[in-house]
Structure formats: C-alpha cells, structure tokens
Amino acid sequence: MEKFTKLTGVAAPMKITNVDTDMIIPKQFLKTIERSGLGKNLFDEMRFNQDGSEVADFVLNKDQYRKASILVAGDNFGCGSSREHAPWALLDFGIRCIISTSFADIFYNNCFKNGILPIALPQEDVDKLMEDAERGANATVTVDLESQEISGPDGGTIKFDIEPFRKHCLLEGLDDVGLTLQKEDKIAAFEAKQKEQRPWL
C-alpha cells in the first residue's frame, strides 16, 4: 500500500449528502476482484448519460476537477452496502483523501485499508473547505498527516483528529497484509516449530 504522508492537490466539492457505495461504484462493476481499473466507473451513473456521454455539470467532469485528489463531501459519505470496491474506485481515480462531517463505519474502515485518508470535521470546517474547493484548480489544499493539519489556499489551517494506530499504518503504508508481514520472523519460527512437533500436519 502506498504511504500517505503529505498530499497537496485540487479538492473537488461534492455537496451531496448520503452518498452511498452504489453511487460510488454501481453494482454492475463488482464482478472484478482487481483493485485497478475501477476509476473509469467511479460515480458512473452520475458522471455518464445512458449513451456514454459525460454529464457536463457533474463535478468530476469539469476540467478543473478531472485530476482532483481530495474530495470535500456532504454528510454520511459511504453509506449503504459494505463493498470494498468503493474505495478501490476512488483510489484508482486518484482520490487519496475525503473530507466530510461523517462517514459510514465500514466505508471508513475500508478507506484506511486501501491508503485513503477519510477526515471527519465539524460542519463549519467542511463548509470552509467546500468554499475553497469551489474555486477550482487554482486553489489547492494540503493535507499533512504527520501534523494532522489541513492548509487552505488562503493560508488558513484546520486541525483534524485520527487514531494513532490508523495514522501509523497510513504513514508507513501498512495494510492488513503489511501488518502481518511485520511478524514474518515470528510466523516462520512458529511454523518451523509446528513442523518439528507435529510433522503429520
């Protein structure tokens, strides 16, 4: 998993509440078990018309937000079913950080497991960042995980909270497999002992 230390990029404003995982990645794209390639189908039913043409007024179809790496969203982001394809699609599109007032629990947990930083802030802070994001590509936002600070285009800063363990995992780029492999020597020693004591297993 790619490390998350400091991210500077364009923030896209998505003033929609209760964005569920089916909106993020519709059910017809869940057949794959590959983490790559889903970005083109992110928000598919919101980004594209039935004939495949782009919906011009959808935020990620606007030129200034096509390469957004931060999403400032409405309340209760990621609700609905527990599909891990949702953070896969966001990450594959290029979104590394999502800022909202609240997240659905399973989606929130899945973000950390895939190298995405979800930040929950009070409404007034989200409103300020939403205003910043509405300025377009010329107004970049910096998210510094080490200092737990968001810097806006005007130089203002907003502090955010994160659990120390989750912060450590993101900074070090550790998903569940990476965490397990940190104990590889102990696992190997256990397996060797098991083989010696129980060779019939």
Domains in the chain: boundaries: 6-173
What fold is seen in the domain 6-173? Aconitase; domain 4 (3.20.19)
Coil, strand or helix at 164: helix
Q: Give the angle subtended at the CA of 77 by the CAs of 101 and 154, to the nearest 5°.
A: 50
List 120's β-bridge partners, or say none.
100
How many Cα atoms within 13 Å fall on the side-chain side of residue 61? Answer: 16
115 contacts 95 by C-beta, under 8 angstroms: no
Token pair 């935020």 is found at 59
Query: What pLDDT, on the 0 to 100 scale, is given for residue 76?
Result: 98
22 contacts 81 by C-beta, under 8 angstroms: yes
Query: What pLDDT, on the 0 to 100 scale, is given for residue 138?
Result: 77
List 98's β-bridge partners, or say none.
71, 118
73 contacts 129 by C-beta, under 8 angstroms: no
Give pLDDT tens digits along the chain (201 positions): 899 999 999 999 999 999 999 999 999 998 877 778 999 999 999 999 999 999 999 999 999 999 999 999 999 999 998 889 999 999 999 999 999 999 999 999 999 999 999 999 999 999 999 999 999 877 799 999 999 999 999 889 999 999 999 999 999 998 765 555 555 666 666 666 667 777 776
